[in-house]
Structures are given as structure tokens and as C-alpha cells.
Amino acid sequence: MDEEIAIINKNTRNERIKNFILKNKKSIISFIVIIIIFLISFFAYNEYKDKKKTEISDKYNSLIIDYSEKNKELTKNGLIELINKKDSTYSPLSLYFIIDNLLIKEQSKVNELFDIVIDEISLDKEIKNLIIYKKALFNADNSSENQLMEILNPIINSDSIWKSHALYLMAEYFYSKNEKQKSKEFFNQIISLEIANQDLKTEAQKRLNRDLSE
């Protein structure tokens, strides 16, 4: 008796499934087609990204390998083009090469390229903070206090691993301007910062003891 009931229940369940499939055949087929299209699109897009990454990598390496005093303009234009590709790896590297080799003299133009890398590229948080710090270093000799603070504020107001570097830069900036009290305040912030770079904390303490002690 129990076996017969089980068979009946199984047949009933199978019939319900069959009827559901027949009734919703179009919807089921459409759903399967959508899934297939999504998977194809996903893998095609990843393949496209990999291809573009390889193209950008090849162009960057070619520009760097072929660089010489004779083709500075060609290298500069090629690297600017790569920065505007907004690649998380090769756009920052292109900017660094431009700066290291003085391919662009105008500070404002270099800052425009910094802003593209910082504001328009999806980067790891600490990589972005490092680039912000590099922008501050680049501008430190020709910027006002407010300008330099504006650049560094995103780092100073965070728990970034680059915070002590930003504080040290501001401390040295004020020391170079003979504003010793402001310099002392920033060095003291480094001393009290738990996540401070230990080498910078040591240097800050030396500075306070040697040059800023009362």
C-alpha cells in the first residue's frame, strides 16, 4: 500500500513538473538564452580587457626601450596617450617616467596628468594615496602652504600607511620656511602616530631633539 502511494505521489510530482515546463516553456527558454548570452559576454569582455592590457603593456615597454634624447617628444606624446588610457598599472608608470626624465617642464600640465591618474582611474586605496603623496612631493618647492595641504589632506585625514610620510613632508616644508612652531607640530604628530613609519618616527624625534628643542 505504501509503495503504491509512493508511486502515485511520484507520478503526480512528475506530471506537475511536466505541466510547469510546458506551461512556461517560452520563459524557461528565454532565461536559458539570457544566461548563455551573459556568459558569452562576460568571457568576451574579459578577453577584450586582457588584449587591451597586453597592447598597453607592449606600447609602454616599446616607448621605454626606444627612449633617447633624440625622440623625447615622441616618447612624451606616447606616454601621455597611455595615461589617458586610464590603465591602473601603466598610466601611473607612464606619469612617473615623464617626471623622472623631465619630459614635461610645465608644472600645471604635469598636475593635470596627476589628476587623471588620481581621480579617473580605479586604483587600490593605498596606491592612490602613494600617487597623491608623489604629487605633493612634485609640487612642494613651488606651492603655498594651502596648496600643499589641499593635496595632502586626503592622506593626513585618513589612516593611510602614507600618513606619516605626508606629515613629514609638511614638517620639512615648514622648517624650510623657518616656521619652526608649525614644523614642530607636524613632527610631534608623527611621534604620536601609532601607524607611523618607524624610520620616519626616528627621524622626526631626531629633528625635534636636534633642531626644534626649546
Q: Among residues 96, 123, 150, which one ends one of the domains?
A: 123
For residue 58, the model assigns a pLDDT of 92
Find all residues with CB under 8 Å of 57, minimum gap 6, and list them: 89, 90
User: What pLDDT does 213 receive?
Assistant: 74
The domain boundary residue, chosen from 107, 123, 139:
123
User: Radius of gyration over alpha carbons of the chain, in Å?
Assistant: 30
73 and 168 both lie in a single domain? no
Determine the structural domain holding residue 130 and report its residue range: 126-214
Q: What percent of the chain has pLDDT over 90?
A: 67
- In Å, how far are 140, 145, 149, 178, 199 from 174, measured between CA atoms? 11, 8, 11, 6, 20
pLDDT tens-digit readout, 114-144: 999 999 999 999 999 999 999 999 999 999 9
pLDDT of residue 32: 67
Same domain (yes/no): 92, 130 = no
Residues of the chain above pLDDT 70, percent: 76
Asked whether residue 186 falls in the same domain as residue 213, the answer is yes
Q: Examine the domain organization and report whether 112 and 130 are in the same domain.
A: no
Amino acid 188: pLDDT: 93
Task: Give the amino acid at 51.
Answer: K
Cβ(86)–Cβ(116) under 8 Å?
yes
Q: What is the pLDDT of residue 212?
A: 79
pLDDT tens figures, 154-200: 999 999 999 999 999 999 999 999 999 999 999 999 999 998 999 99
- Whether 134 and 212 map to the same domain: the answer is yes
| 106 and 191 within one domain | no
Do 86 and 187 lie in a common domain? no
Task: Mark whether 68 and 153 lie in a shared domain.
Answer: no
**Residues 85 and 191 placed together within one structural domain of the fold:** no
Per-residue pLDDT tens for 75-98?
999 999 999 999 999 999 999 999
Q: What confidence tens digit (pLDDT) does each residue in 21-65 have?
A: 666 666 666 656 666 665 566 555 556 566 677 899 999 999 999
Same structural domain for residues 112 and 136? no
Of 123, 155, 172, the one marking the end of a domain is 123
Residues 6+ apart with CB under 8 A from 193: 163, 164, 167, 201
Confidence band of 69 (pLDDT split at 50, 70, 90)? confident
Whether residues 4 and 107 share a domain: the answer is yes
Instruction: Give the number of domains in the chain.
Output: 2
119 and 130, same domain (yes or no): no
d(CA 105, CA 99): 9
pTM above 0.85, yes or no: no
Instruction: Output the domain CATH number for residue 159.
Output: 1.25.40
